[in-house]
């Protein structure tokens, strides 16, 4: 069995866990204590794995740190890694997402608040604004979701660097086919029930919570919306509702099995006004037929009532396992596709993001 690393970003620090030879994950001492870590990435593309962490230094503002020795030491660029050009008259608020490009060896993408996309060509040390999206005519009419006006999800095509999708709360899904020079809204058939009758399928303005793809079927996307669960078979050209069979179609994370592109996972919550797990039990729902049917998976999860939310980036699927973390500081792992679960950590701060990789 391979060694693996698990990165857990919380509201008050970063926790790394290591597994040796397929054994249990052991939590290491806290890093960046008292500092919020809303985004992490484990970049295994090079000869040496690189950890990336988007952190918030309070009144010193957000930054991106990197480590090439699995968290023993951390470095930061000499200049602010991510900063808006002066002409934009905009200040960075948070780094929501860090995503290594699967098709360009040294490229890393970052999604930030206020909603914008940045590109790095030095494996995540420094970044430049993607001006094509920033200058999109829709941007001035984008409205923030409950968590702010954030670009929280980046889905680069696994083989074509010109094709990239992003999700913005609460603007919707946008895509480019020319490497970021031009962008188009791609929200067809996604319903926004809060809009007036006859206006519930707008070109943009949808509150997308998360989007996921599988590298072997990149045209197929899965989307967790504020009011539904959807699938696209043409990289967002059109969307189809796949929420039937779920106890609720409201939730935040959605992830795809690391080796089976037709297997997708969600963790439903009661509703937007009651953001607690359905029936107050943690149940991960899995579909093995692209969203046609769903089954609940809860063996090993708590039997007693639970009330904590699982955020959009606090669930991940990788060859190291399936993981999710909660807002009351618990982290769970499954190594059999969700069939059984074990607790990795408890009593952590509010879990914001979870990422895992085989080393």
Domain assignment of residue 14, yes or no: no
pLDDT band at residue 194, thresholds of 50, 70 and 90?
confident
Domain assignment of residue 28, yes or no: no
Q: Residue range 135-155: average pLDDT?
A: 96
Domain assignment of residue 264, yes or no: yes
Domain assignment of residue 4, yes or no: no
Tell me whether residue 119 is exposed, middle or buried, using C-beta atoms within 10 angstroms of its C-beta: 0 to 12, 13 to 18, 19 or more: middle
196-199, long-range: CB < 8 A, 24+ apart: none
pLDDT band at residue 316, thresholds of 50, 70 and 90?
very high
Beginning with the edge strand found earlier in the chain, give each strand of the sheet holding 150-156 in spatial order: 150-156, 164-169, 172-176, 184-185
Could you report the per-residue pLDDT of 205-224, keeping only the tens digit for each? 999 999 999 999 999 999 99
Domain containing 170: what range?
A: 39-358
Domain assignment of residue 265, yes or no: yes
Domain assignment of residue 8, yes or no: no
How many angstroms separate the CA atoms of 184 and 192, rounded?
18
Q: Read off the pTM.
A: 0.97
Q: How many domains are there within the chain?
A: 1
What pLDDT, on the 0 to 100 scale, is given for residue 1?
59
Strands 108-113 and 94-100: antiparallel
**Residue 215 sits in a domain of what CATH number?**
2.130.10.10
Q: Residue range 12-30: average pLDDT?
A: 96
Could you report the per-residue pLDDT of 161-192, keeping only the tens digit for each? 999 999 999 999 999 999 999 999 999 999 99
Domain assignment of residue 202, yes or no: yes
Q: Residue range 290-296: average pLDDT?
A: 98
Could you report the per-residue pLDDT of 46-87, keeping only the tens digit for each? 899 999 999 998 778 999 999 999 999 999 999 999 999 999
Could you report the per-residue pLDDT of 234-287, keeping only the tens digit for each? 999 999 999 999 999 999 999 999 999 999 999 999 999 999 999 999 999 999
Domain assignment of residue 252, yes or no: yes
């Amino acid at each position: 069995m391979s060694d693996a690393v698990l990165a857990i970003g919380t509201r008050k620090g970063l926790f790394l866990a290591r597994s040796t030879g397929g054994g249990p994950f052991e939590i290491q001492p806290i890093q960046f204590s008292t500092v919020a870590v809303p985004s992490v990435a484990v970049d295994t593309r090079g000869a040496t794995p690189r950890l990336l962490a988007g952190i918030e230094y309070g009144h010193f503002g957000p930054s991106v740190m990197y480590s090439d020795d699995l968290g023993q030491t951390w470095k930061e660029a000499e200049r602010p890694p991510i900063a808006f050009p002066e002409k934009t008259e905009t200040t960075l608020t948070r780094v929501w997402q860090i995503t290594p490009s699967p098709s360009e060896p040294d490229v890393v993408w970052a999604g930030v608040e206020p909603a914008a996309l940045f590109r790095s060509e030095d494996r995540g040390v420094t970044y430049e604004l993607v001006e094509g999206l920033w200058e999109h005519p829709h941007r001035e009419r984008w409205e923030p979701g409950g968590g702010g006006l954030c670009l929280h999800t980046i889905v680069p095509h696994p083989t074509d660097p010109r094709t990239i999708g992003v999700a913005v709360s609460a603007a919707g899904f946008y895509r480019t086919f020319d490497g970021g020079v031009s962008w188009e809204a791609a929200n067809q058939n996604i319903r926004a029930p809060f809009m007036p009758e006859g206006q519930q399928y707008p070109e943009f303005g949808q509150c997308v919570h998360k989007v996921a793809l599988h590298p072997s079927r990149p045209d197929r996307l899965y989307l967790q919306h504020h009011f539904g669960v959807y699938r696209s078979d043409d990289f967002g050209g059109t969307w189809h509702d796949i929420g039937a069979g779920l106890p609720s179609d409201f939730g935040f994370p959605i992830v795809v099995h690391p080796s089976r592109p037709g297997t997708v996972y969600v963790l439903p919550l009661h509703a937007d006004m009651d953001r607690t797990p359905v029936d107050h039990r943690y149940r991960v729902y899995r579909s093995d037929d692209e969203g046609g049917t769903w089954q609940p998976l809860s063996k090993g999860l708590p039997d007693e009532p639970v009330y904590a939310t699982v955020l959009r980036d606090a669930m991940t699927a990788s060859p190291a396992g399936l993981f999710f973390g909660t807002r009351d500081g618990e982290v769970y792992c499954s190594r059999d596709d969700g069939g059984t679960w074990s607790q990795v950590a408890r009593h952590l701060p509010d879990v914001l993001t979870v990422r895992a990789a085989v080393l």
